[in-house]
Chains A and B, each alone.
Chain A
Amino acid sequence: MKKKAARDTTEDGAQEICKGLDLEEGATIPLLQRVQSRLGYISPEALREIAEAMGLSESEVYGIATFYSEFKLSKPGRHLIKICMGTSCYLGGGKKLLEHMSRELGIKPGRTTEDEKFSLETVACLGCCSKSPVMAVDGVIYGGLSPSSAESILAHLESEP
């Protein structure tokens, strides 16, 4: 029941945000920005509203939203995991780390787990190249990681309520 109430507010919210905007050509991006600043991300319902308002299809709007990295398309999780894909980390095993974490969490980068606990993202360089591969969890940097050590960091978080 609680979950449903939450969904309803999102829907209404999206509708409200889209209401009264002037819908000239090219207004899609400002609309997306507006939604993101209110909701923190672009929800499927909000995307539908924007499509409706702009006379575009949902997929077209999604295409625009995914083109710009500024837009988040899933609700941010309680913990944000950023894995570095900068040159040094990439060469130092960052790719493998990312693949491992992505499999572990069951989500692609840019997404949030179903229980809304973790979001996974990639970044270009965290400025700690000497410690590659590097991952940041909620702003805390961990370096010299192996897939299993990264996993245990997560396990620690996961045991939290």
Chain B
Amino acid sequence: MHLRIDDQEIDVPPGTTIKEAAKLAGIKIPGLCDHPELERYGGCRLCLVEVEGIRGYPSSCTMPVSEGMKVRTNTPALKSLRLNILEMLLSEHPCICLICERSGMCDEVREGMRKVPQTMGCRYCPKDGRCELQEAVTQIGLKKVELCRIGTEKEIIRSPFFDRDPNLCILCGRCVRACADRGVSAISFVFRGFDTVIGTAFEKPLEDVGCRFCGACVDVCPTGALVERANKWSGVAKRVVETICPYCSSNCQIGIEVKDDKILRTRPKGSKLCVRGRFGLEFVSNQRLTRPMILKGEGLVEAGWQEAMELVAERLGGYKGRRFAMLLSGVLTNEALRTAKKFSERVMNSRAVAEDTSSDFSLTEIIQGPLLAVGDLAETNPATELAIRHSKPVVISPFRTMLAKKASVWLRCRPGEEPQVLEAIAKASVQENTDALGDTVISAEEILKAAKLLGKASVVVGPDCNRAVRKAAENLVRVIGGKLCVVGRNCNSRGVAVLGLDQGYEETMQSLMSGEIAAAYIVGSNPARSDPELIESLSNLEFLVVQDLFLTETAKLADVILPAASFAEIEGTYTSSDGRMLQLMPALSAISKSDMQIISELCHKMKGRLPDDPASSRPEGTKTWTGKGQQSEDITSSGSFILVEGPCLFEFGSGTRTSRVRDLQYLNKDRYVDIHPRDAARHKISNGEPVSIQSRGRSIRGLARVSMSVPEGVMRICGRASRIASAEVRRDV
């Protein structure tokens, strides 16, 4: 479409707004409420333009272009309109500094940066230097505000990770739209007229209205109304380092803002981050190990690298062969994984394994076709879930997950029934009649309906699904000619799988439990926390080396602890699920050596020593490993309740890192037990009431959360801590 903006002729595709077209032509129209990633709105009226043949002044951010349009963006009339509108806007906003004629010069004479708890003007605003209002004032050329200040001081609302200062809010509605875009709508415009604010139902705290703390609202806020609390007053970053989020396999691109060798904040880089990538990186500077430690006598004491490495090399030398095991994890870089694999195979004549896997698939491709999803991806892999949500997948889940809400067909099975449902779909897609579709709570009609949608579909299996689900999914994929997409748990799950390190984890655990393994080297994982039943076997090891960022539960059992550098301090790569190499960039100076460096130094030290005889018989009377995290085993029913543990957004994996992020810890402080309203009524439990659940002689305490998201007769506990409690469930309050 061809149009003229000011003196420029330009061609743009239909559907473009005037404002976007102007931007393409290099003309910047001011505006505070529109945002390229959000729904069009047209609330602030700063982007008014004149269009030949149209009366009045349309807002350019909402009006689409049309053929032959003639637009003027900067006439005297427009200028004075904008001045007036902006002046009005500023009559409700602290603005002295914006229009002070010595603006920008007061830095030298400023004393005591913060004597008052509230922002009085821009120099005292946490967004100073990053504020779009400042930009607009400059661009529009406002020099004075003559209207008197109206409105009363409103209280600052604190929530985990960020603060909301309603006094700085210009009610542009960006945050509301950003939240709606994520499908949450925790905030909304409330009250009307002068009293209008952005708020929550009954002014409840954000965590009580379903906020997932992705920070999308903070990212789009043009003013200082919404800012991260961490480093709030540290100003603008010196540099931004683009790297990859170290949590889940969604592999979001992040920009780490750095100043004085400290992470100020993290911003999305063309990605839609979740709370972990956005606010969860504080662990890199929290309780880190900086020096190796060695078990001497009863306790672990700090030691030099030389001493620690010598000791490891010497002791491990005695366990070559099958008495040694190396446990890795998908949080490590490809470089570290490769070196570790080489170390355990060539130097130790044994194998390295990781409890992690992922298949090879391209998210952008699979969302083009039909989809079936199993697992609670919104909790485990939020960005992946966001991407597939829009293609309206068929969802198998007992719970009304974020994804189930958007499903084209939601097959609400009983917990643990997922494999049977997958089987039923497989059957239904080859046979016409409705009988013999298996014995699930889902009707044959629904199964058939789903099967009809799923020809050649991609089957997405979340990392919270057990092996039975994966098997059934594999089979279904074979029948329907689709694609199996096993979503990885960690940032480099795919790297683990490519190197074949996902093979043999269970056997290794068996040999660990049976005592066949006498020495182990654990890098970047914390089995003592994720799997408390392994603690005994780990402490019985003759020699245990743990390499980690922190003094983890597992590290406490070690003979030698080697401190490693975090993802933010190293270069390296992760492999994405579609096989791309994603580059990590160092943002901070390294606190310690990288995993790869440590392991390769060890390789050098130990090479040349002769391998010992692989050997030593298996001790008598041993236990066997029962496996964990497997849904079917975590489900037990007793009386009328089935207890299920679900993954939790705020606690990642074993929780080693997320427990070192203060506000995530705060969000995890209460363990919630979801219970259906009818069950709650029957047992006289009300929302928020403490409950205790008896299980295997242990009792789990939690707060009841009455919610339709669980089916009747089922209780769901959020997060890892419940893992201890997978047995009989009885209610006793």
Interface residues of A (CB under 8 A from B): 4, 7-8, 11-12, 15, 44, 47, 51-52, 56-63, 66-67, 69, 73
- In the complex, what residues of A have CB within 8 A of residue B681's CB? 8, 11-12
Inter-chain residue pair count (beta carbon < 8 A): 59
B708 adjacent to A62 (CB under 8 Å): no
Mark each residue of chain B from 1 to 35: 1 if its CB lies under 8 Å from any CB of chain A, else 0.
Answer: 00000000000000000000000000000000000
Determine whether the beta carbon of A62 is less than 8 Å from that of B686.
no
- List, in ascending order, chain A residues with CB within 8 A of B192's CB: 66-67, 69
Additional pairs, 17, CB under 8 Å, beyond known A4-B684, A62-B188, A62-B199 = A8-B684, A11-B686, A52-B708, A57-B210, A58-B210, A59-B187, A59-B188, A59-B209, A60-B185, A61-B201, A62-B190, A62-B200, A62-B202, A66-B190, A66-B192, A67-B191, A69-B192
B527 at interface by CB-CB < 8 Å: no
Within 8 A of A (CB), among B676-693: 677, 681, 684, 686
Write the chain B residue with the least CB distance to A12: B681
Give the chain A neighbours of B185 by CB distance below 8 A: 56-57, 59-60
Q: State A15–B677 Cα separation when bound (angstroms).
A: 10
A59 to B205, CA, bound (A): 11
Judge whether B57 is part of the interface by a CB distance below 8 angstroms: no
In the assembly, what is the distance between CA of A58 and CA of B202, in Å? Answer: 9
Task: Judge whether A62 and B677 touch: CB under 8 Å.
Answer: no
- B186 near A59: Cβ-Cβ < 8 Å: yes
Q: Could you list 28 A-B pairs, sorted by A, with CB under 8 Å?
A: A4-B684, A4-B686, A8-B684, A8-B686, A11-B681, A11-B686, A12-B681, A15-B677, A44-B202, A52-B708, A57-B184, A57-B186, A57-B201, A58-B209, A59-B185, A59-B200, A60-B188, A61-B201, A62-B190, A62-B200, A62-B201, A63-B188, A63-B189, A63-B190, A66-B190, A66-B192, A67-B189, A67-B192
B199 proximity list for chain A (CB < 8 A): 59, 62
CA distance A59 to B204 in the complex (A): 9
CA distance A146 to B686 in the complex (A): 44
Given contacts A59-B187, A63-B189, whether A47 and B686 have CB atoms under 8 Å apart is: no
For window 172-188 of chain B, which residues contact chain A by CB distance below 8 Å? 184-188
Q: How far is the CA of A7 from the CA of B680 in the complex (A)?
A: 13
Q: How far is the CB of A38 from chain B (nearest CB, A)?
A: 19
For residue B209, which residues in chain A have a CB less than 8 angstroms away from its CB? 57-59
* Across the A-B interface, the 4 shortest Cβ-Cβ residue pairs: A63-B188, A58-B201, A57-B185, A62-B201
The distance in angstroms between the C-alpha atoms of A47 and B184, with both chains bound, is 16
Which residues of A lie under 8 Å from residue B201 when comparing CB positions? 44, 47, 51, 57-59, 61-62
Docked CA distance A6–B675 (Å): 21
A62 contact set on B, CB distance < 8 A: 188, 190, 199-202
Cα of A61 to Cα of B686 in the assembled complex, Å: 22
Chain B residues with CB under 8 Å of A12's CB are: 681
* B contact patch SS: loop
What are the residues of chain A within 8 A of B686 when measuring CB–CB?
4, 7-8, 11
The smallest C-beta distance from A147 to any residue of chain B, in angstroms, reads 18
Bound complex: CA of A15 vs CA of B706, how far in Å?
Answer: 13
Q: B100 → chain A, closest Cβ, in Å?
A: 31
Measured in the bound complex, the distance between the Cα atoms of B209 and A44 in whole Å is 11
Contacts of A58 in B (CB 8 A): 200-201, 204, 209-210
Give complex CA distance A62, B208 in Å. Answer: 14
B190: A residues at CB distance < 8 A = 59, 62-63, 66
Return the chain A residue nearest B689 by Cβ: A4
* CA of A61 to CA of B188, assembled, Å: 9
Q: How far is the CA of A70 from the CA of B429 in the complex (A)?
A: 54
Nearest-Cβ distance from residue A53 to partner chain B, whole angstroms: 10
Provide the residues of chain B in CB contact with A60, threshold 8 Å: 185, 188
Instruction: Give the interface size bracket for B toward A.
Output: 20 to 34
Within 8 A of A (CB), among B361-393: none
The residue of chain A having its C-beta at the shortest distance from the C-beta of B706 within the complex is A11
Quick check: B202 and A73 within 8 Å, CB to CB?
yes
Residues from chain A with Cβ under 8 Å of B677 in the complex: 11, 15
Residues in A neighbouring B188, C-beta threshold 8 A:
57, 59-60, 62-63
For the complex, give the distance between the alpha carbons of A47 and B681 in Å: 18
Q: How far is the CA of A73 from the CA of B201 in the complex (A)?
A: 10
Closest to A61 in B: B201
Q: In the assembled complex, how far is the CB of residue B675 from the closest CB belonging to chain A, in whole angstroms?
A: 13
Min distance, Cβ B90 to any Cβ of chain A, angstroms: 24
**Identity of the chain B residue whose Cβ is nearest the Cβ of A45 in the assembled complex:** B687
Provide the bound-state CA to CA distance between A15 and B202, in Å.
19
**Chain B residues within an 8 Å CB radius of A59:** 185-188, 190, 199-201, 209
Measured in the bound complex, the distance between the Cα atoms of B68 and A76 in whole Å is 60
The complex places the Cα of A8 from the Cα of B687 at a distance, in Å, of 10
CB distance from B159 to the nearest CB of A (A): 13
Residues of A within 8 A of B189 (CB): 63, 67
Q: Whole-angstrom distance from the CB of A56 to the nearest CB of chain B?
A: 7
Taken together as a complex, chains A and B put the C-alpha atoms of A7 and B686 apart, in Å, by 9
- Residues on B with C-beta less than 8 A from A8 are 681, 684, 686
CA distance A7 to B189 in the complex (A): 28
| Cα A47 to Cα B684 with chains together (Å) | 20
A67-B202 Cα distance, complex, nearest whole Å: 13
A67 to B199: give the CA distance in the assembly, Å: 13
User: A63 vs B198: C-alpha distance in the bound complex, in angstroms?
Assistant: 9
Binary A-proximity of B647-689 (CB < 8 A = 1, otherwise 0): 0000000000000000000000000000001000100101000
State A66–B202 Cα separation when bound (angstroms). Answer: 10
- Give A69 to B686 CA distance when docked, in angstroms: 30
Taking the closest CB of chain B, its distance from the CB of A15, in whole angstroms, is: 7
A66: which B residues are within 8 A, CB to CB?
190-192
A156 to chain B, nearest CB (A): 30
Please give me the residue from chain B that is nearest to A48 by CB atom.
B201
Interface centre among B190, B192, B200, B204 (most CB of A within 10 A): B190
How many Å lie between the Cα of A63 and that of B190 in the bound state? 4
Complex Cα spacing A59 to B201, Å: 4
| A69 and chain B: residue at smallest CB distance | B192
For B249-286 the 0/1 string (1 means CB < 8 A from A) is: 00000000000000000000000000000000000000
B residues less than 8 Å from A47 (CB atoms): 201-202
Q: CA separation between A12 and B678, bound complex, in Å?
A: 10
CA distance A56 to B708 in the complex (A): 14
Bound-state Cα–Cα, A56 to B186, Å: 10
Taking the closest CB of chain A, its distance from the CB of B574, in whole angstroms, is 35
Greatest chain A CB density within 10 A among B185, B186, B684 is at B185
Cα-based distance from A52 to B188 in the complex (angstroms): 16
With a cutoff of 8 Å between Cβ atoms, the chain A residues found around residue B684 in the complex are 4, 8
Q: How far is the CB of B425 from chain A (nearest CB, A)?
A: 26
What's the least CB distance linking A48 to chain B, in Å?
8
The 0/1 profile, CB within 8 Å of A marked 1, for residues 212-249 of chain B is: 00000000000000000000000000000000000000
| Cα of A82 to Cα of B187 in the assembled complex, Å | 30
Q: For residue A57, which residues in chain B have a CB less than 8 angstroms away from its CB?
A: 184-186, 188, 201, 209-210
Shortest beta-carbon distance from B384 to chain A in Å: 23
> B197 CB to closest chain A CB, in angstroms?
10
B280 to chain A, nearest CB (A): 24
What B residues does A73 contact at CB under 8 A? Answer: 202
CA distance A62 to B708 in the complex (A): 20
CB-defined contacts of B200 to chain A, threshold 8 Å? 58-59, 62
What CA separation (Å) do A15 and B684 show in the bound complex? 16
Q: Which chain B residues lie closer than 8 Å to A56 at the CB level?
A: 185
Kindly name the residue among A44, A59, A62, A69 whose own CB sees the greatest number of chain B CB atoms within 10 A: A59
Max count, chain B CB within 10 A of own CB: residue among A4, A56, A60, A61: A60
CB distance from A50 to the nearest CB of B (A): 11
Inter-chain CA distance A36–B140, complex, in Å, is: 47
A102 to B186 alpha-carbon distance, docked (Å): 28
For residues 508 through 529 of chain B, which have their beta carbon under 8 Å from a beta carbon of chain A?
none
Across the interface, which residues of B come within 8 angstroms of A15, CB to CB? 677
Nearest neighbor of B200 in chain A, beta-carbon distance: A59
A51 to B188, CA, bound (A): 13
